[in-house]
Amino acid sequence: MKSLKIIWTIALTEMKILSRSWFFRIFAALSILLLIGFDLVIFTDITGGFIPRTFYGLSASIVYSNILIFNLTLSVITVFLASDFLKRDKKLDTTDTVYIRSITNSGYVFGKALGIFLLFFLLNLAVLFISIFFALIQSAGGFNLGAYFYYPLLISLPSLLFIIGLSFLLMTLIKNQAVTFILLLGYIATIIFFFGNDFHNALDFSAFFTPMTFSDFVGFGNINLLLAQRITYAFLGLGFIFLTIYFFNRLPQSKFVEKFSAIIGIVLILSSGYFIYGYLSFFSDEANLREQMIELNEKYAGSPKVSLEECKIDFKHEGNSISCVTKELVKNKTEETIDDIIFSLNPGLKIKSISSNGKALPFKREGHLAFAAPEKPLLPGDSLSLTIQYSGIVNDGAAYLDIGQDKRNALEKIFIQTNYKKFSFVTPEYVLLTKENLWYPVFDVTYNPQNQFYVNDDFSKYEISVTTDKSLTAISQGKAEGSGGKFVFKPETLLPGVSLVIGKYAVQSVTVDSTAYSLYYLPSHNYFEKYFTEIGDTLATLIKDEMESYERDLGLTYPYSQLSLVETPIHFASFQRLWTLAEETTQPQIVFLPENSVGLDDADFEQSIKMRKRFGNRGNQVISPKESQTNMFKRFIKGTLLGGTPSFRFRFGSALDMNRRPYSIFPNFFTFTNYLSSKSFPIFNTLTEYYLTQPFERPPMRFIRNILGMLPEEKALYLTKGNSLKKIISDTTFNDNLKTLLKLKSKYFFTEIAYGPGVEKTREFLLNNIAANRFTDLGFTALQSEFKNQFNVDLIKTSEELMNASRLPGFFISDIKGYKILVGEKEKYQITFNITNDEKTDGIVDVKFTGRRGAGSGSPRFMRNGNNDNTLAEKIVKINAKRSVEVGTLLDDSPGSLEVNTIISKNLPLSLSFPFEDLPESKTVKPFEGNNILENKLSFVNGDEIIVDNEDSNFTAQKSEGRSFLKKLLDLSTDNSLPYKGIRFWNPPSDWEETIVDNAYGKYIHSVYFTEAGDGGSEVSWKTEIPKTGYYDVYAYVVNIKFGFRRRNQNKRPNNHYFVSSDDGEDEITLEMENADDGWTLLGSYYFSQGETKVRLTNKADNGLIFADAVKWVKRK
Amino acid sequence: MKIELTGISKIYKNGNAALKDFTLEIESGMLGLLGPNGAGKTTLMKILSTLMTPSSGGVKVDGLDIIKDREKIRKMIGYLPQDFGNFPKLRAWEFLDYSAALTGIVNKKKRRDEVDRMLEMVGLYKFRDRFAKKLSGGMKRRLGIAQALIGDPKIVIVDEPTTGLDPEERIRFRNILSDMSSDERIIILSTHIVGDISSTCGKMALLNKGELKFKGKPEELVSLAKGHVFKIKAFESDLNEIKERYPVISSVPSDDGWDVEVVADKIETYSYEELEPNLEHAYMYFVEFILENKFSAVG
């Protein structure tokens, strides 16, 4: 007791001394102030900025973020203070007067450690109060009292113990504060900046990367895992403190205590090893499980499978486990006899029995696969009814066999919070299961990499009855009947699979045209209702309008009588699959939205209102609250459900992954209702998905190219390096870019087959076939004969070309002319241009004319509603190898631009855009609509011109030797595997780099070299051979590059310094770029003798970027 | 109270032997440890104050072994180290309060009283709220003795406490020490300043090169020097030669030259008078003649 009091005194004295140190005081004050500043900026609108809901949307967001940030600064400062403790002891001779006192070394070290610890815990307390304050102001996420205990205990406590222990021990052993500092700070920096979330966060002592989001549905994603990781560091820290006692540089009072401390220290460190081993085993066990499942799938992929006709699931929710009895009707639709009925079931679920018509069937289990032997083999066409009884705990690790470890373990940051990814939930209060979890028997093997595009094509009749706790609500496909913990679902259509959600949900429903639209959410998460006070009575009409407009754009109708939006725990994650646009977040009739709409830009109504207030009243239009709410509601539906741009969370999660539409209801129109299987052309179904969603595609925003350098499609095509699709599909390492490539190939495939029948008719015919064959696998072969009959189009031939083609065409466009002409009484617009394919393989392009933007289009992107598709005309042009085609189009409206999409070609950009000025009137030009193949192929360069482009071998860019280390470090983010870089105007390269610019000069590749302004020490040069002595005009190609959102003063373009070598020596020409027009600009006329000459451009300029494109010499006549 | 040191040696890692087979019995009262720099005083003090273990030999405090019974012995000790002045950021009273708590006075009220008593005693009560760092050198030393005496230790070990103090502070400090002297307490004072011993200690021990050279009362040491202390009347021109020939204690200018006090066996050449030796003379004589083996060792 007395010694405890002495320890306490030491702790208090240590606290007193530390709290009097200016270093500590300044740090503490600064970090608290910074945190308050951070909170003010991030969690309140004090700065007038727009704070996405995502930042604070969860009930524990604010406290989690605050503790996390503070903990990081604490770690660093603790190192200073903790190692200072022994230094101080060493330096202070007064320490001897303490050392001779009758206290044990353990008492002394504990006292010191406790002092530091307490002081920081008090600081943490301050952080908690700050968090509470801001959480009360910004209450969008609700107030989560528990979080104020969990986070300090889970984040701060172990980190502090660990850092204190480590500092103590190192200082005791090394006895040199400077060395200890460097080691510890180096350690912290290495862990945070280098390792980050590697090794499943096993090294993440500060919990900065460790997933710790808290869901109001289920709490932490995996509390055992989290505890194991945190206990590891707490124990390590304590262990180090005990070892410090052993190594402490003072004569011990008791040998026993000293040795005992060493033993405890070692035991603690060993136990931490045990915990981290368990922690890591969790991941490796899961990975092994998936590997084993894939192996099994590969092994049995060839075995004939039965088709599931009917399935009745009797589901019992029993705390953390489930218990089911399923009754199936299966049929042998193959032409082989089936001896063993194979099905997949989550490996965590144990099968009790399988019976048929009351007779038990023998069965065996191999991993997730089960093999049941019917009494007699199932002959082709035979049916069999089965009853399967199973129960257990659903293994979350069994999902997503197709997703590699990297993607699976990729950090998912929600602002600075890290989210735990989970794919299934079964807790006493919550259940979420999808087909991916194999929670009921799936009569097939699942994913295997040999057949990445294979999908089980069963459409079956389901019935689900659910028994759960009385307070919970169940949601599944079909209308829920029953209450009080018993529910029955009888979906009225066949389905490819079913999902089940059980939770404490509140629901709001509206029925429109006999379709029931429901929104399920946690009662405490109703943040949205207050934004829609005015439109309650028009909600049905609004939904109807939006749905009808979507159906019109898509050309297909919604096939079910239900659509439910269901709020799900923040941990519920989905991945993009290779073979489909659908993600597990969308199920038949159900969309799983993230908890509290975190990550959904379009559900951030608070922000929406603020934006409208700031930007909405530009045209002096007064918007009524009702109108405003209507717009907001429409925007939510369009943006989130109808295939709008991906949400904030995903944009930040995976770099600008514009292809993801996780909450789109599109799969309900095709993916869940149709299937077009093909053994020879397995990607066809996927290509069709892309084709169907084309109307919702939007051209990428300019800044995307500025950032990425190459658009994803261009990158994907570039990376194929001339390999055929067939080869690429068999190479799983290409998967990341394969999806993008498929999108491109889809465009190509359907453009190719639409060449004869036309774009409109092709689409209509395909849509009719889809609508007529719902809930069944039509198959590619059947569809292809339909096409053959209707249009005499050979899909098989096109598919083979698509799979095997490796050569690319290349196009250049010339002589674009446009006139306003009179055709009869009517004013029309005649456009003609030539397009040449100068390569050895035939090509096809999609030509589109877009209209001029009407008034009011100046509003920011985020406020625009609806499809801004203003296509005036679209046609497909085929240009065979080494041919030129004259294309003529007669338009009713004045065109804004000509867009030529070369789809798959050597061109960069793949899509060319040519804007039109106001067209001049002409009385002589005759109307011409059609394609005219020219007799002679046009050449890109006029005979009397010598042009050197930056793509040519006569162009050289000087590579500077030294680059600052910092620059290199900052440049790590750019993808060096690609030749064309983004124009990183925030961090321009000091070397010359190449980038793609729409309006740059080039036969196929519209590229320029660019670099940051400098002292003139670095240059590019265009060299050529002058064929004939004489006067030449020398031109440089000037490109105007507009930046998306640069500040005006930065947009100033520097003057360019060209140096032209001629017989008169070298002449410097300064081009004023500020007012320069695009295109060829005369540098001057010079006399050249036959032989080599060159033009140079240096990086000399005050600021900004220098661009180098092309130079030409034109002989004067 | 009795401390028995038996055959203590301390050999440092660098091979330096700070103490060689050192045997000494210390009884209650105040013992002055005198010796030149590097004699091993501080090593001895550190061993006695449990900060260091001897390489061989043993120390017993009232029958308790200083290694085995370290915990009990530490409870008996008050210690003022040699360089005492670097404090953590604590006020004078807080420092004493911390020391008091470490001696085991856990009752707050009792501790405060004790702290106040000590502050009064060392004359620092007025400065109780001043940061220890900000005290003057003498005050720091007084605070040091206060913390050494807090909790009424049976053994007080004071290492070179008066070094660097001005004469006034030095006397003040000696007085505090004398006041603390009692029959139930051993006070060990190490010093190289003879005055510290003569004014406070009843007993003294003389160390040189890690060995005990003398133990006894200061008077006994003085009597050894009888007949060996002289005052030479010297001319200015002789001064240097005298300094070369004899250990000089002091040289004071007089009317007709210099009065130079020296220790020596006998004086030749110069006119001199014999002086009654004091402790300082005796120490000089002892160090210069007996330890340098100019005579056979005594005592």
pLDDT in tens, A989-1008: 888 989 998 889 999 999 99
pLDDT of A308 above 60: yes
Same domain for B210 and B228, yes or no, is no
Same domain for B170 and B233, yes or no, is no
How many angstroms away from the CA of B113 is the closest CA of chain A? 17
> Which of B216, B239, B258 is the last residue in one of the domains?
B216
Is B279 a member of any domain? yes
Same domain for B229 and B207, yes or no, is no
CB neighbourhood size of A277 (10 A): 14
The residue of chain A with its CA nearest to that of B89 is: A17
Contacts of B53 in chain A (CB under 8 A): 251
Contact residues for A1077 (Cβ-Cβ < 8 A; gap 6+): A1038, A1040
Same domain for B254 and B166, yes or no, is no
Closest among A837, A817, A1025, A807 to A939, alpha carbons compared: A837
The residue of chain B with its CA nearest to that of A3 is: B104
The residue of chain B with its CA nearest to that of A7 is: B102
Same domain for B93 and B13, yes or no, is yes
Burial class (CB in 10 A: 0-12, 13-18, 19+), A772: exposed
Contacts of B84 in chain A (CB under 8 A): 93-94, 97
The residues pairing with B32 across neighbouring beta strands, listed in sequence order, are: B189, B204
The percent helix, strand, coil of chain A (3-state, each to 5) is: 40, 25, 35
How many angstroms away from the CA of A250 is the closest CA of chain B? 7
Query: Which of B50, B84, B99 lies closest to A93 in CB terms?
Result: B84
Is B241 a member of any domain? yes
Average pLDDT value over all residues in chain A: 88
* Domain that residue B279 falls in: 223-290
Region A660-669: what's the mean pLDDT? 91
Is B299 a member of any domain? no
ipTM, 2 dp: 0.88
- Spatial contact of B192 and B37, defined as CB atoms under 8 Å apart: yes
Query: Which of B53, B80, B104 lies closest to A102 in CB terms?
Result: B104
Closest among A131, A136, A137, A138 to A52, alpha carbons compared: A138
**pTM, full prediction:** 0.87
Region A942-955: what's the mean pLDDT? 90
> Which of B170, B199, B216 is the last residue in one of the domains?
B216
A501 or A198: which carries more pLDDT confidence?
A: A501
d(CA A610, CA A628): 11
The secondary element (H helix, E strand) that includes residue A1036 is strand A1030-1038
The residue of chain A with its CA nearest to that of B50 is: A100
Query: Which of B51, B101, B106 lies closest to A251 in CB terms?
Result: B51
Contacts of A104 in chain B (CB under 8 A): 71
CATH number of the domain that B183 lies in? 3.40.50.300
Is the preceding peptide bond at A909 cis, omega within 30 degrees of 0?
A: yes
- Spatial contact of A229 and A204, defined as CB atoms under 8 Å apart: yes
d(CA A631, CA A863): 9
> If contacts are CB pairs under 8 Å, which of residues 97-156 in chain B contact chain A?
98-99, 101-104, 106, 144, 147-148
The residues pairing with A390 across neighbouring beta strands, listed in sequence order, are: A324, A351
Torsion of CA B127, B129, B134, B137, to 10 degrees: 30
Closest among A874, A888, A872, A891 to A835, alpha carbons compared: A888
Interface test with A, best of B102, B107, B118, B160 (most A CBs within 10 A): B102
CATH topology of domain A301-501: Immunoglobulin-like (2.60.40)
The residue of chain B with its CA nearest to that of A5 is: B106
Look at domain A673-804 and name its CATH class. mainly alpha
The residue of chain A with its CA nearest to that of B70 is: A253
The residue of chain B with its CA nearest to that of A253 is: B71
pLDDT digits (tens, 9 = 90+) for A1037-1071: 998 776 544 444 455 677 889 999 999 999 999 88
Same domain for B254 and B275, yes or no, is yes
How many angstroms away from the CA of A108 is the closest CA of chain B? 10
| Residue A47 DSSP code | T
Q: What is the CA radius of gyration of chain B?
A: 21
d(CA A621, CA A612): 11
d(CA A196, CA A888): 58
Is B116 a member of any domain? yes
Same domain for B165 and B245, yes or no, is no
Same domain for B194 and B228, yes or no, is no
Percent of chain A surpassing pLDDT 90: 61
Percent of chain B surpassing pLDDT 70: 97
- Spatial contact of B5 and B24, defined as CB atoms under 8 Å apart: yes
Q: What is the DSSP string of B106-164?
A: --HHHHHHHHHHHHHHTT-GGGTTSBGGGS-HHHHHHHHHHHHHTT--SEEEEESTTTT
Would you call A320 helix, strand, or coil by DSSP? Answer: coil
Helix axes A105-137, A255-300, angle to 10 degrees: 50
Burial class (CB in 10 A: 0-12, 13-18, 19+), A241: buried
Interface test with A, best of B73, B84, B98, B112 (most A CBs within 10 A): B98
Cα-flanking dihedrals φ and ψ of residue A691, to 5°? -65, -45
Q: Residue B74 and residue A2: Cβ atoms within 8 Å?
A: no
Would you call A948 helix, strand, or coil by DSSP? Answer: strand
The residue of chain B with its CA nearest to that of A252 is: B70
The residues pairing with A1056 across neighbouring beta strands, listed in sequence order, are: A1071
**How many domains does the structure of chain B reveal?**
2
pLDDT digits (tens, 9 = 90+) for A1071-1089: 887 777 788 999 999 999 9
Which residue type is seen at A628? S
Contacts of B137 in chain A (CB under 8 A): none
Q: Residue A93 and residue B81: Cβ atoms within 8 Å?
A: yes
Per-residue model confidence (pLDDT) at position A656: 45
Helix axes A735-754, A795-804, angle to 10 degrees: 140
d(CA A843, CA A1057): 40
Which residue type is seen at B269? T
Interface test with B, best of A14, A81, A95, A102 (most B CBs within 10 A): A102
Q: Residue B83 and residue A93: Cβ atoms within 8 Å?
A: yes
Per-residue model confidence (pLDDT) at position A1077: 79
Superfamily for A945-1115? Answer: Galactose-binding domain-like (2.60.120.260)
How many angstroms away from the CA of A70 is the closest CA of chain B? 26
Scan for tokens 């206990």, then name that residue: A231
Closest among A1008, A978, A986 to A996, alpha carbons compared: A1008
The residues pairing with B78 across neighbouring beta strands, listed in sequence order, are: B156
Closest among A621, A593, A438 to A528, alpha carbons compared: A593
Closest among A987, A1033, A1023, A995 to A1097, alpha carbons compared: A1023
Would you call A1013 helix, strand, or coil by DSSP? Answer: coil
pLDDT digits (tens, 9 = 90+) for A98-120: 888 888 889 999 999 999 899 88
With cut-offs at 50, 70 and 90, classify the pLDDT of residue A651: very low
Is the CB of residue A923 less than 8 Å away from at least one CB of chain B?
A: no
Is B141 a member of any domain? yes
With cut-offs at 50, 70 and 90, classify the pLDDT of residue A458: very high
Cα-flanking dihedrals φ and ψ of residue A773, to 5°? -125, 45
- Spatial contact of B42 and B62, defined as CB atoms under 8 Å apart: no
Cα-flanking dihedrals φ and ψ of residue B184, to 5°? -95, 10
Dig out the tokens for A1028 from the structure: 């004939």
pLDDT of A783 above 80: yes
Q: Residue A16 and residue B90: Cβ atoms within 8 Å?
A: yes
Same domain for B273 and B158, yes or no, is no
Per-residue model confidence (pLDDT) at position A652: 45
Dig out the tokens for A877 from the structure: 């042009």
Same CATH fold assignment for domains A301-501 and A811-933? yes
Percent of chain B surpassing pLDDT 90: 30
Q: Residue B74 and residue A100: Cβ atoms within 8 Å?
A: yes
Scan for tokens 């003798």, then name that residue: A1089
Q: Residue B74 and residue A21: Cβ atoms within 8 Å?
A: no
Per-residue model confidence (pLDDT) at position A381: 95
> Which of B216, B241, B262 is the last residue in one of the domains?
B216
CATH topology of domain A811-933: Immunoglobulin-like (2.60.40)
Is B51 a member of any domain? yes
Which residue type is seen at A1026? I
Q: Residue B99 and residue A251: Cβ atoms within 8 Å?
A: no
d(CA A598, CA A649): 8
